[in-house]
Structure 1
Amino acid sequence: MQETLVQSSELKKSCINCGAGLRYAPGTTELTCEYCGYKQEIVPLESGFEELELKPYLNEMGAQSHSEEITMLQCKNCGANQHIEENYKSLHCVYCTMPLIIEDAHKEDWILPGAVLPFQIDQKKAHQLFKKWVQGLWFAPNNLKKAAIDPQYTKGLYAPYWTFDAQLYANYTGQRGEYYYVSKTVGSGKNRRTVRERRTRWYPASGHVSGFVDDTLIKASKQRSGVIPEKIARWDLKALQPFDSSFLAGFVTKKYTIPLKEGHLESNKEARNIADSWARRDIGGDTQSISTIDMKLTEETFKHILLPVYISAYKYKGKRYNFFINGQTGALSGKRPYSFWKIFFLVLFIFIVIGIILVLSQS
């Protein structure tokens, strides 16, 4: 399944003064015009978040009531599908920076997002963070640092995720371990000594745990064209806003490629881990062993949410490198190339210095 980046046609919001495209201003609740300075307030929706009942969607019922048609473009270079609205300054792939061909646009349906986490830092700040990081890299190729000067390759992307809520009930059986210590003599002769050895007494345990599992976060894209690193994939979901397409204006939006059913299976694995953790806490003692867990989830709901990331793409010796910045926190991570010649000359310099020291010591 190919990656898909999408942006709804309704995002083409125009300035009432000059007709230019409006863009969401990160860290605010406003749309702004880059040409005349006009600002338009984004009015928050009174309805709040919309948690969708999971079962009808898994049974492929009711999906049309929360779907819309969106337009996508496919990158001929890396294969990623994406849509960049008309007022975006350049039609280039967010992952590999290659030009996109508008004639290749096609339409698909998607489940509408229920919430969005708006960007809190703007593209200028994101590029400054990326540039500072690049300049601090040891043994980076000189042309990498030159490439970091051009901000057009640092672009904002809303990445899709699923969140799942449920009431969790679980019965468990297992054992509670309690540590105790015994003295033991080891060695012989002069090496003979007494040591304390830890041992464990096990007691049978069983019980019941229950609670509400809130916002289990599951990625909704396979991300083959640039995987968002775990290091930056941490957002404060308390800052989520009810979905309003105004927050997406001026940014690229990625469509989910992991189906809801597959995301639900992943969330069940996370729920089982949570049940295991709750059971161990309930058992107590110094250590625990879980034999069985009979878990049940009820009142399951889900949301399709969009989370903010900046991406910079750079090509070095035919290989593409992606750098990611969390659009909420500014956390940065990415793979980087190394300069063979810089490392070679450093090693050569070290050997020369060692040689000089040896010659001087002998004389």
Structure 2
Amino acid sequence: MTEDHRFPCPNCGADYRYAPAEGKLICDHCGHTEQLKEPGPWGGGIRELDFRAAIEARLPEAEIEETRVSQCPNCGAQVEFDADTHASECPFCATPVVTDTGTHRHIKPRGVLPFALTEREAHRAMADWLGRLWFAPNGLKDYARKGRRMDGIYVPYWTFDANTVSDYRGERGTVYYVTQTVMRDGKPEQIRRQKIRWRPAAGRVARFFDDILVLASKSLPKRYTDALEPWDLSDLKPYAPEFLAGFRAEGYQVELTDGYTEARAIMDRTIARDVRFDIGGDRQRVHDIRTQVSDVTFKHVLLPVWVAAYRFRGKTYRFVVNGQTGRVQGERPWSPWKIGLAVLAGLIVAGIVGYIYALNGG
């Protein structure tokens, strides 16, 4: 079944939008409001799903949904549209997109982190960020400040939980010093040399990983979305389509198994730090780590991002704003004129300094 996230106002028929600050659905046309019902059948909790059941295609059908999406021909984003939208602009790269009737069958979101910032607040945060950038083109700053619409996108992520037990072998190094006599300029001189005494080390470390976050989108450079962290996942709400009223949702492009591979890499780096700490001493050598992973669970969650894509002088600039904290990241614009003037000013200052230095006799 295809789900269209549209919620018509009972007064006038216009679409509601979700207002996070009020926790209500609001009609911008007539002002009617409706309190959002408590979502989810889990009593306010968010239940994890079994990873093994998912990769073996044994998830209950109730955990699967179909949504109407369109894929951007430029950046590949899969963005969900409502039934009445047939032509739009990709929010990630500003490329014109014609929607089709295709559907995307995927694992349902289990949690959603509602937007805490309004579009106006996100726009202000982006304008302030641009204003602090040296050598950014004034034209782009002015263009951005004109208030062009930003898109509120719920970006897909995976979270993973797991129990791990790791056996390791390595060596613990203890630093000590010896005093040696060397000849320098024909005279004996005593120096201290650092040495390390190595001893075998072996042991076991255990850790429970909770909510390892993995981006499930390929539409934006990962360095931007990673830089939007941290996210406070304690504010996650059980998923309900009402949270998406007035916003868009992107379908995940990173499959569950690929997301788990990235999560395992994060786990392994953390376990390696745990092993070094467990070995102790002044230095550590790690020869082998063997990890058993059990009780792997996951959930598909949607996190709020304000996106702006500006085409300025034939080039697209993309900016993203964390819809929870207001943290901004984006493509760094440069102004050749400003850079040239700065270089020229530097040369002039260097010339003046050199001239004064020469007048004073070098």
TM-score (norm 2): 0.87
| 2:47 alignment partner, one of 43, 50, 55 | 50
Identity %: 37
Within 2, Cα distance between the matches of 1:359 and 1:274? 57
Q: How does 1:149-228 map to 2 (within 5 A)?
A: 149-185=145-181, 188-189=184-185, 194-223=190-219, 228=224
Does the 8 A contact of 2:18 with 2:26 survive in 1?
A: yes
What is the aligned partner in structure 2 of residue 100 from structure 1? 97
Q: How does 1:345-360 map to 2 (within 5 A)?
A: 345-352=341-348, 355=351
Does the 8 A contact of 2:72 with 2:97 survive in 1?
A: yes
What is the aligned partner in structure 1 of residue 123 from structure 2? 127
What is the aligned partner in structure 2 of residue 83 from structure 1? 80
What is the aligned partner in structure 2 of residue 18 from structure 1? 12
Within 2, Cα distance between the matches of 1:81 and 1:191? 76
Secondary structure of 1:91's partner? strand
Within 1, Cα distance between the matches of 2:275 and 2:223? 33
| 1:277 alignment partner, one of 273, 288, 304 | 273
Q: How does 1:30-69 map to 2 (within 5 A)?
A: 30-45=24-39, 47=42, 48-62=45-59, 64-69=61-66
**Greater CA drift, 335-344 or 71-80:** 71-80
Does the 8 A contact of 1:158 with 1:251 survive in 2?
A: yes
Deviations 1:144-194 (A, max 9, x none): 012112333422211111111111112222122222222345671299754
Letter paired with 2:20: P
Q: 1:175 to 1:73 in 2, by over 3 A?
A: same
What is the aligned partner in structure 1 of residue 298 from structure 2? 302
Match status 1:313 vs 2:309:
yes
TM-score (norm 1): 0.87
Within 1, Cα distance between the matches of 2:187 and 2:333? 53
Deviations 1:224-251 (A, max 9, x none): 5786342213211122111112212111
Does the 8 A contact of 1:175 with 1:288 survive in 2?
A: yes
- How far apart are 1:276 and its partner, in Å? 2.1
What is the aligned partner in structure 2 of residue 247 from structure 1? 243
Q: 1:357 to 1:283 in 2, by over 3 A?
A: closer
- How far apart are 1:304 and its partner, in Å? 0.7
Q: 1:228 to 1:346 in 2, by over 3 A?
A: closer
Within 2, Cα distance between the matches of 1:191 and 1:340? 60
Within 1, Cα distance between the matches of 2:348 and 2:191? 51
Secondary structure of 2:341's partner? helix
What is the aligned partner in structure 1 of residue 105 from structure 2? 109
What is the aligned partner in structure 2 of residue 70 from structure 1? 67
- Cα-Cα RMSD: 2.7
**Greater CA drift, 299-308 or 335-344:** 335-344
Match status 1:9 vs 2:3:
yes
Deviations 1:52-99 (A, max 9, x none): 1111111122263311110012334544332233688x9321012233
Letter paired with 2:341: F
Q: 1:161 to 1:186 in 2, by over 3 A?
A: farther
Within 1, Cα distance between the matches of 2:291 and 2:136? 51
Does the 8 A contact of 1:96 with 1:313 survive in 2?
A: yes
Within 2, Cα distance between the matches of 1:358 and 1:206? 63
Query: Any gaps of 5 or more consecutive residues in structure 2?
Result: none
The number of residue pairs the alignment matches comes to 354
Within 1, Cα distance between the matches of 2:81 and 2:335? 34
Does the 8 A contact of 2:111 with 2:238 survive in 1?
A: yes
Within 2, Cα distance between the matches of 1:292 and 1:203? 15
- How far apart are 1:141 and its partner, in Å? 1.5
- How far apart are 1:217 and its partner, in Å? 1.3
Within 2, Cα distance between the matches of 1:223 and 1:99? 15
Does the 8 A contact of 1:174 with 1:292 survive in 2?
A: yes
Within 1, Cα distance between the matches of 2:78 and 2:170? 49
